[in-house]
Amino acid sequence: MTKNVRKAVFPAAGLGTRFLPATKSQPKEMLPLVDKPIIQYGVEEAHASGIDNIIIVTGRGKSAIEDHFDISFELEHLLEKRGKQKELDLVRKISDLIHVSYIRQKEALGLGHAVSVARELVGEEPFAVVLADDVIDAETPCLRQLKNVYEKFAGGVIAVMEVPKERISAYGVVAVEPVEFNGTKDRLYRVTDLVEKPPLEDAPSNLAIIGRYVLPPEVFDCLDRIQPGSGGELQLTDGLRLLMEQGPLYAYRFEGRRHDAGDKLGFLKATVEFALGRDDLGGEFREYLKELKL
């Protein structure tokens, strides 16, 4: 079977309750970090990792996502007429580079369910899952890092990072044993157990699952077998637990900086950091921040 990862599933049917009222009539995936919607960061990461088939699992009220990745004839025509080439390139760039399909998740039954909805579109090949709320700034795109592991070990691989003890219950958590990879034993692990949002005393480690996965198609049969778990939802983590019974599953402590853009404070921090990193805004913005009497 091919080890080539060509498709990425983006679950995007959530209600965005953490961002109300902003998300009452617009999807949280479309909230802009500086000037790009959150979801575009994930899509660009996939493209930079050699994954150009994007499958977005949407729900009610998410048509703005479809419009965003579509051609906007009127806008492009107007920009062309006015000679605004730079803006035109910005608008066209991403939709020219990728192929997007959409599928509806009719009910928000959980992340495991959202991924399983994409089964027909993924088919019998390995695929990535991207949780767009997790925006990852990295020299080598995080998905590319996971693909490298998948290509070598041919087993599912999950991105993980160390989080402080008091935050661990907000994540899926893995129990692991180290595996040698590229001359070190502190990046790649074999997963021996995983649990979704455990109470602190039950957390098997301080390694939290972050929203990037590369998975074999066998995970779909596993997802068909799961029962409602943490929060009464069908959890991807529980599907991965079943997958682990069939073959090795890996966790990769990726290199890069992750922002939780689905959280208000995380979103603000990401906005500040991305703005500071911009050539066109960073200088003046830095000066402005320095002037604030904090």
Taking the complex as a whole, the smallest distance from the CB of residue 112 to ligand G1P amounts, in Å, to 8
Shorter beta-carbon distance to ligand G1P: residue 51 or 160: 160
Shorter beta-carbon distance to ligand G1P: residue 58 or 235: 235
Reduced to 3 states, what is the DSSP secondary structure of residue 197?
coil
Structure tokens at 117: 């909805």
Taking the complex as a whole, the smallest distance from the CB of residue 101 to ligand G1P amounts, in Å, to 22
Rounded-to-integer distance, Cα 145 and Cα 15, Å: 30
Exposed (0-12), middle (13-18) or buried (19+): which is 175, by Cβ within 10 Å?
A: middle
Cis peptide before 21 (omega within 30 of 0): yes
Structure tokens at 277: 């990193």
Taking the complex as a whole, the smallest distance from the CB of residue 158 to ligand G1P amounts, in Å, to 9
Shorter beta-carbon distance to ligand G1P: residue 122 or 209: 209
Shorter beta-carbon distance to ligand G1P: residue 79 or 210: 210
Shorter beta-carbon distance to ligand G1P: residue 79 or 194: 194
Tokens 């009127």 locate to: 74
Reduced to 3 states, what is the DSSP secondary structure of residue 193?
strand
Taking the complex as a whole, the smallest distance from the CB of residue 242 to ligand G1P amounts, in Å, to 15
Shorter beta-carbon distance to ligand G1P: residue 79 or 105: 105
Task: Check: CB of residue 129 under 8 Å from CB of residue 215.
Answer: yes
Rounded-to-integer distance, Cα 96 and Cα 140, Å: 22
Taking the complex as a whole, the smallest distance from the CB of residue 210 to ligand G1P amounts, in Å, to 5
Exposed (0-12), middle (13-18) or buried (19+): which is 102, by Cβ within 10 Å?
A: middle
Binding positions for ligand G1P, rule: CB under 6 A: 111, 131, 134, 171-172, 196, 208-211, 235-237
Task: Check: CB of residue 143 under 8 Å from CB of residue 128.
Answer: yes
Which candidate, 9, 31, 39, places its Cα nearest to that of 101? 9
Shorter beta-carbon distance to ligand G1P: residue 79 or 260: 260
Taking the complex as a whole, the smallest distance from the CB of residue 204 to ligand G1P amounts, in Å, to 13
Taking the complex as a whole, the smallest distance from the CB of residue 14 to ligand G1P amounts, in Å, to 7
Which candidate, 136, 98, 130, places its Cα nearest to that of 114? 130
Query: How remote is the C-alpha of 146 from its chain's centroid?
Result: 12
Shorter beta-carbon distance to ligand G1P: residue 76 or 137: 137
Q: CB nearest ligand G1P: which residue?
A: 172
Taking the complex as a whole, the smallest distance from the CB of residue 236 to ligand G1P amounts, in Å, to 6
Tokens 């290199």 locate to: 255
